[in-house]
Structure 1
């Protein structure tokens, strides 16, 4: 028995040491953290499903049902492109920004665009096109609003900033690469850290952080579904993950080959749409059951990095990051 106890203690010490080597993070074992990136797409061999509208290169997109506006952003374009898919013959609107956007979040007819190179978060009214800026230093990469406060993921200071009326009221640190924020409640957000490839619940009122969970080998995008879960794509590991959030527990893990990257969720049909950049494909999984069930698989435009959906009609919009257009698919 004594030998068994000693052996167990030795193993525990070894595991603890492995979990904290280098970075001090229990989720990483290396000093060199690299965020996952989408695979480069091959030339398209099959015509994209649906129709293709002209559009600029885009690696971010969002669809606002209230104004029926598709919002597009590109890593190299200091502007947002606004398109009404109902009237493709009309010219798209271009909203100039001081620098490219790194994150988009819709909030009641407006879109929040984090501008890391400008050190601000832009609030764009989708009806009027007016823009208001809130100064947020240290490279903001994503922003959401909850309980009347602006919550911002900051790459430069590796933290989450909470602002009230434009005034910084709290910072929550201890991250490696906070990249995406999911609003969970009036007091809590979920932080996707692309470098640590983890999810962490954060209380923005108290500043408390919950226990983080590893999200595969290289998580890149996450959304919430109508069941309160966090749906995540592991681009490096080729998986689709579903986490319950109260408490944070991994509930589903499903293989998705082809470099899954873009992700959106249709709450009306319980479909998670994922783009596969290595295959120029779009796949939809029904997530209402005990495990994801594939419902659709369609060819896309080349380098499909951004996808969004109209929850009223089920129409899906896929944007090419190389400027091959905006694909419109109705299934």
Structure 2
């Protein structure tokens, strides 16, 4: 149980277009119509046409840089002893936050930076001009996710793969929130709308839907293809997606009826460890083994 990793992919026959072939993308995020894709060496930021033309803004990253996240109109890259804040509107204007504890994942919420790592059972909170604060957690953090909520600050959850758990941060009271086990082997999670978090249970294999209004709650699960890893919310079609690296296929689920129902599919690039959607429903998948960034305008209905 726990310690899930994505299965290696067979040969692929991806839908749509593929750009940036040869780049091994390790992460992907979107802020509105702006895309950020990270390789081991660089962060690329730009609109869809920038990526098609090969003109996305490139920021060279250090060897310690790891998780990429989208929060508060910024892209956030955790780089060990610093955290990079990259505005989606001006990706060349990078701000570096110094860290007190090693940061491998971070999100920016309400002007404060929340950072964690897979070794320490705490989240460190940074605010400009103030001393850092530490918040004890039930487990360390492999991934922090900031999820928008209508009329309220974003909610924050952390995912820990060794214990296969998800836990929210109680921001109102500045303390750890509830902890839930995610099936038998959590992969990645992704923010949805109004407190929803879409999670891939890689080992089950299942899609899991959580809400984070005041405390994290499991709302729905459904079986999916083997080895789902990447997860995403489709704001245009209101669908929750997970991508199977074993099948090179992403499936979209309608969650409006209380049980996830498969409604759409996309054949993906190999080793699509990260997927995302633009506001108009354009699908993006980033290959971790050099097949590039996949762009699909319209998924296939099931």
TM-score, normalisation: structure 2: 0.87
1:169 aligns with 2:128: no
Cα distance in 1 for residues equivalent to 2:91 and 2:211: 38
- Match among 36, 39, 62 for residue 7 of structure 2: 39
Take 2:91 and 2:203, find their aligned partners in 1: how far apart are those partners?
40
Q: Distance in 1 between matches of 2:134 and 2:107?
A: 15
Q: Is residue 114 of structure 2 the alignment partner of residue 114 of structure 1?
A: no
Please say which structure displays the higher CA radius of gyration: 1
> CA 1:100/1:288 → structure 2, altered by over 3 Å: closer, same or farther?
farther
How far 1:147 sits from its partner (Å)? 2.4
Structure 1 residues 74-93: aligned runs within 5 Å = 74=39, 77-87=40-50, 88-93=52-57
Q: 1:134 to 1:269 in 2, by over 3 A?
A: same
Which of 226, 229, 244 is 1:261 aligned to? 229
In structure 2, stretches of 5+ residues that fail to align are none
Q: 1:107 & 1:247 partners in 2: Cα distance?
A: 20
Deviation at 1:100, TM superposition (A): 5.0
- TM-score, reference length from structure 1: 0.80
List per-residue Cα deviations over 1:156-208 (Å, max 9, x = no partner). 42311111116443212244331222335538522222222112222245432
Match of 2:98 in 1: 135
Q: Distance in 1 between matches of 2:75 and 2:179?
A: 28
Take 2:184 and 2:106, find their aligned partners in 1: how far apart are those partners? 24
Higher strand share: 2
Match of 2:29 among 62, 72, 85: 62
Name the SS of the counterpart of 2:5 in structure 1. coil
The answer to whether the 8 A contact 1:120-1:134 is kept is yes
1:53 to 9, 16, 19: 19
- Distance of aligned partners of 1:102 and 1:168 in 2 relative to their CA distance in 1, 3 Å threshold: farther
What is the CA-CA distance between 1:130 and the residue it aligns to? Answer: 2.5
Change (3 A) 1:168 1:175: farther
1:319 to 278, 283, 286: 286
2:251: which partner in 1?
Answer: 283
C-alpha distance in structure 1 between counterparts of 2:248 and 2:228, whole Å: 10
Contact kept, 8 Å, 2:235 with 2:277, in 1: the verdict is: no
Q: Give the Å deviation of 1:109.
A: 4.3
Distance 1:128 1:212, change over 3 A: closer
Q: CA RMSD in A?
A: 2.2
Report deviation, 1:57: 0.8
CA distance in structure 2 between the aligned counterparts of 1:309 and 1:293, rounded to whole angstroms: 19
Could you say which residue in structure 2 is the equivalent of 1:94?
Answer: 58
Aligned length: 290
Residue 181 of structure 1 corresponds to which residue in structure 2?
144
Using the alignment, how far apart are the partners of 1:166 and 1:181 within structure 2?
A: 23
Name the stretch that deviates more: 256-265 or 239-248: 239-248
Q: Which structure exhibits the higher relative contact order, with contacts defined as CA atoms closer than 8 Å and separated by 6 or more residues?
A: 2
**Contact 2:68 / 2:77 at 8 angstroms: preserved in 1?**
yes
Which shifted more, 169-178 or 34-43? 169-178
8 Å contact kept, 1:154–1:161:
no
Match of residue 211 from structure 1: 178
In the alignment, the residues of structure 2 paired with residue 232 and residue 80 of structure 1 have an alpha-carbon distance, to the nearest angstrom, of 24
